[in-house]
Amino acid sequence: MENVVDEQKSSVDHALGLSSRIEELRKQIGNIQFQSRLLALNANVEAAHLKKGGAAFHAIANEMRRLTSSIEIANSNVAELTMSLPAIAANRCKSLQAEGKLRQFSLQHRD
């Protein structure tokens, strides 16, 4: 019985480790988002310098801004989900501990 609880706690710990890794990846995505914004800004500047000939740069800048906004929204959604995982895992650990104690008590008082 104790093995089952230990295995479940191990699974929760593994999930928390994955949560930490997801947060690292989210930060990397945030850096990509920042670089994308800079590229969009540079494309806008080039478009302004080239005036009529800058239509292609202007189109690129608009697309980069659109993509950057999508990245920002997706990254924010991932952050929300990731931030909720530790609380869920902590509650599950408490539940597992209580369940283990209850089973231990019932085994001791079977008679």
Q: 62-90 in b/e burial notation, b at 16+ Cβ within 10 A?
A: eebbebbeebbeebeeebeebeebeeebe
- Vertex 11, ends 8 and 16: CA angle to 5°? 130
pTM for the full predicted model:
0.66
CA distance 27 to 61: 23
Answer yes or no: is pLDDT of 50 > 60. Answer: yes
CA distance 65 to 98: 51
Of 47-51, 70-74, 94-98, which gets the smallest average pLDDT? Answer: 94-98
Q: Which residues have a Cβ under 8 Å from the Cβ of 16 and sit 6 or more positions away?
A: 85, 86, 89
Answer yes or no: is pLDDT of 49 > 90. Answer: no
Ordered by where they begin, the domains of the chain are: 2-106 (1.10.287.950)
